Amino acid sequence: MTDRLKRMYSHIKTNYQHIGIEKFKIITKTEAECAGYPAILRRGQTLKNVLEQFPIFIGEDELFVGNPASKPWGLEIEAGLGKWSKEECEYLREDGFDFSLEDQEEMLRINEQFHPFGMYQGANLIIANNDRLDAFACSGMMLAPWKKDKTLGNRVGGGAACSGIGNGPGWNLLCIDFALALNKGLAAMVEECEEEIQKNTYFEKRSFERGITLQAMKLSLEGLINYAGRFAKLADEMAETEPKEWRKKELKEIAEICRRVPAYPARTFREALQCFWFMFLLVNPSPTPAIGRFDQYMYPFYKADIEAGRITDDEVLELLGMLRIRCMEMNQQSGREIRKRASGGARWINMTIGGVKPDGTDASNELTRLVLQAVRDVRTPHHTVTLRVSDSTPDDVMLLALTCQAEGCSMPAFVGDKSYIDYFTQVHNPNDGLPIEVARDFCMTGCIDGNIPYRTRTMGITMFVCPLMLDIFMNNGWDKNTDMKVGHEIAGDLSKYNSFKEFLDDFKPEYEYFVKTAGEKLNIESAVFKELLPDPFRAAFMNNGIKSGFDCYAQEYPFESNQLLNPVGMVNLAQCLYAIKKLCFDEKVCTLPEMKKAMDANWEGYEDLHQKCMELEHYGNGVDEIDDMVAQCYRWWVDTANETPSSLGGHFRCSAISVTSHQPGGALCGAMPDGRYKGEILADACASPMAGCDHEGPLAVFRSAMKIPQDEFQAMLLNMKFSPSAIRTDADKLKLAAAIKAYFANGGKHVQFIVEDQETLIDAKEHPDKHNDLLVRVAGYSTYFVQLTPGLQDEVIARTENTKI
């Protein structure tokens, strides 16, 4: 790290931030002035006003400028995510946040006049008046459980405070066309808007909507140009009084750059990075702001600068490190309850590198390597980096990426080009897919969900607790947690089933019903978002933006992945079905009603049966019978999604990431035949085995995961534990690289390595049953960590510490 980066790094603040109301004031004032306007025009005007009025400043070491909050490392009260109560404001101060009493008073005063109508209120108009959907929503099968108190009134409690100056809440998975801004410039886009506004005729059903959207797009683009202009002026002023010569020079450069971009095409790497950052500020706030294929759209600028001798790799590395640090400015806080659970809230600022170019050749370049080097230099959790891996990804890139992992950076994640491309071309259903040249341009949005920059977008996703389907089915349609009837009365007296097939024949339609109902609920939510929260800025950079003249919610795309059904705990559901098949029917160890009794008793008094359940084969060991059950459950998921229409066009598609939902998801389930006790956590990720249930090594996990129809999923998360002894040398890493490539060449989509840290090993010592899979790797020797004596476990634990950087 350079001295400049060290100074910036030392200022990183991840908690107790300043909380401002500047953005809130501008937005609520504009909303009042524009009351009754079409939503998209209102949102265009609020954005323009924020960009023209929001306080700006330039940090002392910054080489690119633009602040996501009114104070350094601060947050802004978010207008559209619920109101802050007085009590919660006080909690903020009690918990150490910098929120002035004066601002609090003003915000509460504004709150009295300001009545945001949000997603919950909108969706509740339908759900509260439909018993079927209400019971489903309250069960939490689609997380999180719907609370009955979310009535029409404006919910007051802990709202949200976020950084970012764009239109929130940004609950979507998409990557805007950064290259368009870099190469065309926003001034030309404003002109294009104007031309389209003049050319628009008014004969069609949606002519009016288009005319309005174009005006809103123009407002937001003009806003960003003016925002940059304010920085040019500020930098000039600061240069006047700056005593340090070197900084004076930098400020003058910043002023020059801000006069150039984003209005006009970028010419240098510095201009391109500045343009990117301005754009990026406007896709925040969002829990999932995608950076896209940074090493691709930035490369021409890098290359030209290097060739002209305008920049060195060290300077680029410093800028990339600065980008990592500045991404840490993107934060989010909520009310006290949520703060307790997740400090800062989960977020995914994902940069994609590597992979192939549209022509299919290797896309990695010097910038790919510099991004990875920056990951090693500047240790920050955000932004994250995902490396696309194809057959042609060079060894040195794989080595560098695995070195990051071995050093404990916990990034990059690895994703396989083949399965993602096969998803977008829909190899199994080519009429539904995109041309391969387009598919090859995919990037990560959110955690590991693929989307093609500006050509596909996902506006809604649901976390669906799979085992709860079986729990409720076996309980004859009733949810024990809410005592509401969520499903149908089908199972009844369980002794009527004479074979597993009979049981499955009854369960499968109910499975489909539940999945489709989740689709319905998501359709309602997305319809509300479409009405209330369009975003003219994003829309201008998506799918022919200005030419189309419609919002992301309001137009159909060549490939529709606008809404996703996302299963959580599918491995658990499959394991439950497998246990029922084996124990109740094949081996007749117990009857189905006995199994149900054991579940109701939370295994108490049924310890032997519990042991039998645990002793069954588990997914993740390459055993066909159980692996096939998992694959079958995923297959049903895909088939059901394909049959479920999406309110935004096309049909639902599938994704499989659990994020942190396996914990609250598990909490909703009772004791189940997979051997879990009531409320116990579900399997992490979606292609990962249940914790401690794989014991055949990493390749067996790969072999099991390869049986899942991953090509049909927009994401399929696999987490894998690795001991540091397995990736110590370059030779070790290249062997792992070969295994990763083989997995990806044969249907695998993603793998993330968790290199065991000390805490995990300590946990493994205390809870050996959860860590049966942890191997100790030494030449000519084999054992599992949990089989070592306590003394030697301590020694390995101590050794792990030494391998840490």
Partner 1 sequence: MTSDYLSLKAPVFNVQTYSIHDGPGIRVTVFLKGCPLRCLWCANPESNLATPQLMTYISKCTGCGACAAVCPNHAVTVKERGGKMAEFTDRSICTECGLCVEACPSEAREIAGKEQTVSEVLEKVLRDKLFIDASGGGMTVSGGECLMHPDFTEALLFAAKEKGLHTAVESCSFASRAVVDQVFKYVDLDLLDIKHMDSAVHKKLTGVPNEVILDNIRHVYHDLHVPVIIRVPVIPGYNDSDENIAATARFAAEKLGPDVAVHLLPYHRLGDSKKESLGEEVTLHIEVPSDEHMQHLKSIVESFGLASQIGG
* Cis before 412 (ω within 30): yes
26 close to 46: Cβ distance less than 8 angstroms: yes
3-state SS, 524-588, equals: HHHHHHHHHCCCHHHHHCCCCHHHHCCCCCCCCCCCCCCEEEEEECHHHHHHHHHHHHHHHHHCC
Q: Compute the residue count for the chain.
A: 805
Shortest distance, position 55 Cβ to partner 1, whole Å = 54
35 binds partner 1 (CB under 8 A): no
Q: Which stretch binds partner 1 (CB under 8 A): 74-82, 245-253, 410-418, 769-777?
A: 769-777
For residues 429 to 468, the per-residue mask of contacts with partner 1, x marking binding by CB under 8 A and - elsewhere, is: ----------------------------------------
2 binds partner 1 (CB under 8 A): no
Residue 53, both tokens: 């009025």
Shortest distance, position 628 Cβ to partner 1, whole Å = 16
776 binds partner 1 (CB under 8 A): yes
74 binds partner 1 (CB under 8 A): no
Q: 249 vs 728, which CB is nearer to partner 1?
A: 728
Sites for partner 1 among residues 643-662 (CB under 8 A): none
Residues paired with residue 755 on neighbouring β-strands, in sequence order? 722
Residues paired with residue 484 on neighbouring β-strands, in sequence order? 479
777 binds partner 1 (CB under 8 A): yes
Shortest distance, position 684 Cβ to partner 1, whole Å = 21
| Phi/psi of residue 565, nearest 5 degrees | -100, 125
204 binds partner 1 (CB under 8 A): no
Pick one of 32, 152, 342, 738: the residue that binds partner 1 (CB under 8 A).
738
Q: Which stretch binds partner 1 (CB under 8 A): 101-109, 139-147, 233-241, 734-742?
A: 734-742
* Extended strands (E) in 152-289: 156-157, 160-162
805 binds partner 1 (CB under 8 A): no
The edge-to-edge listing of strands for the beta sheet with 350-354 is 290-293, 350-354, 384-389, 413-416, 750-755, 719-722
793 binds partner 1 (CB under 8 A): yes
User: Helix, strand or coil for residue 439?
Assistant: helix
Q: DSSP assignment of 466-527, as one string? A: HHHHHHHHHTTTEETTTTEE-S-S---SGGG--SHHHHHHHHHHHHHHHHHHHHHHHHHHHH
The helix or strand, by DSSP H or E, that contains position 783, with its residue range, turns out to be strand 781-784
> What does the alpha-carbon distance between residue 244 and residue 164 come to, in Å, rounded to a whole number?
30
Shortest distance, position 635 Cβ to partner 1, whole Å = 22
Shortest distance, position 761 Cβ to partner 1, whole Å = 12
488 binds partner 1 (CB under 8 A): no
Pick one of 115, 783, 798, 804: the residue that binds partner 1 (CB under 8 A).
783
622 binds partner 1 (CB under 8 A): yes
Residue 106, both tokens: 């003003």
726 binds partner 1 (CB under 8 A): yes
> What does the alpha-carbon distance between residue 430 and residue 42 come to, in Å, rounded to a whole number?
40
Q: Which stretch binds partner 1 (CB under 8 A): 60-68, 577-585, 682-690, 762-770?
A: 762-770
Shortest distance, position 623 Cβ to partner 1, whole Å = 11
Q: 659 vs 739, which CB is nearer to partner 1?
A: 739
782 binds partner 1 (CB under 8 A): yes
* Extended strands (E) in 145-253: 156-157, 160-162
> What does the alpha-carbon distance between residue 777 and residue 783 come to, in Å, rounded to a whole number?
8
Q: 101 vs 742, which CB is nearer to partner 1?
A: 742
Residue 140, both tokens: 């939490």
> What does the alpha-carbon distance between residue 617 and residue 585 come to, in Å, rounded to a whole number?
16
Pick one of 728, 759, 798, 801: the residue that binds partner 1 (CB under 8 A).
728
DSSP character at residue 751 = E
Shortest distance, position 622 Cβ to partner 1, whole Å = 6
Shortest distance, position 749 Cβ to partner 1, whole Å = 16
Closest of 385, 384, 321 to residue 62, by C-alpha: 321
Pick one of 194, 242, 407, 696: the residue that binds partner 1 (CB under 8 A).
696
Pick one of 35, 308, 778, 805: the residue that binds partner 1 (CB under 8 A).
778
Pick one of 15, 340, 787, 801: the residue that binds partner 1 (CB under 8 A).
787
Pick one of 639, 732, 757, 763: the residue that binds partner 1 (CB under 8 A).
732
395 binds partner 1 (CB under 8 A): no
For 106, 600, 757, the CA distances from 449, given in Å and listed in that order, are 40, 37, 27
Residue matched to tokens 């309110």: 647
699 binds partner 1 (CB under 8 A): yes
617 binds partner 1 (CB under 8 A): no
Which contacts of 148-153 are long-range, i.e. CB under 8 A and separated by 24 or more positions? 150/120, 150/121, 150/124, 151/124, 152/121, 152/124, 152/125
768 binds partner 1 (CB under 8 A): yes
Shortest distance, position 750 Cβ to partner 1, whole Å = 17
Angle (CA) 718 723 724, round 5°: 120
710 binds partner 1 (CB under 8 A): no
Per rule CB under 8 A, count of chain residues that contact partner 1: 44
Closest of 375, 225, 332, 276 to residue 63, by C-alpha: 276
Q: 284 vs 752, which CB is nearer to partner 1?
A: 752
DSSP character at residue 720 = E
Pick one of 342, 346, 490, 742: the residue that binds partner 1 (CB under 8 A).
742
746 binds partner 1 (CB under 8 A): yes
Pick one of 63, 316, 401, 786: the residue that binds partner 1 (CB under 8 A).
786
Pick one of 585, 698, 719, 752: the residue that binds partner 1 (CB under 8 A).
698
Residue matched to tokens 């628009």: 200
Q: Which stretch binds partner 1 (CB under 8 A): 78-86, 184-192, 488-496, 768-776?
A: 768-776
Shortest distance, position 689 Cβ to partner 1, whole Å = 15
Shortest distance, position 768 Cβ to partner 1, whole Å = 5
Shortest distance, position 448 Cβ to partner 1, whole Å = 22
| Phi/psi of residue 562, nearest 5 degrees | -70, -25
Q: Which residues contact 200 (CB under 8 A, 6 or more apart)?
A: 207, 210, 211, 214, 549
Q: 660 vs 787, which CB is nearer to partner 1?
A: 787
Residue matched to tokens 């400090």: 343
Q: 259 vs 695, which CB is nearer to partner 1?
A: 695
Shortest distance, position 460 Cβ to partner 1, whole Å = 37
> What does the alpha-carbon distance between residue 120 and residue 171 come to, in Å, rounded to a whole number?
14
741 binds partner 1 (CB under 8 A): yes
531 binds partner 1 (CB under 8 A): no
Pick one of 639, 697, 757, 770: the residue that binds partner 1 (CB under 8 A).
697
Q: Which stretch binds partner 1 (CB under 8 A): 144-152, 189-197, 301-309, 773-781?
A: 773-781
739 binds partner 1 (CB under 8 A): yes
149 close to 268: Cβ distance less than 8 angstroms: no
User: Helix, strand or coil for residue 759?
Assistant: helix
* Extended strands (E) in 315-379: 332-334, 350-354
Shortest distance, position 416 Cβ to partner 1, whole Å = 13
Q: 8 vs 786, which CB is nearer to partner 1?
A: 786
Contact residues: partner 1, CB under 8 A: 611, 622, 696-700, 702-703, 726, 728-729, 731-732, 734-736, 738-739, 741-742, 745-746, 765, 768-769, 772, 775-783, 786-790, 792-793, 795
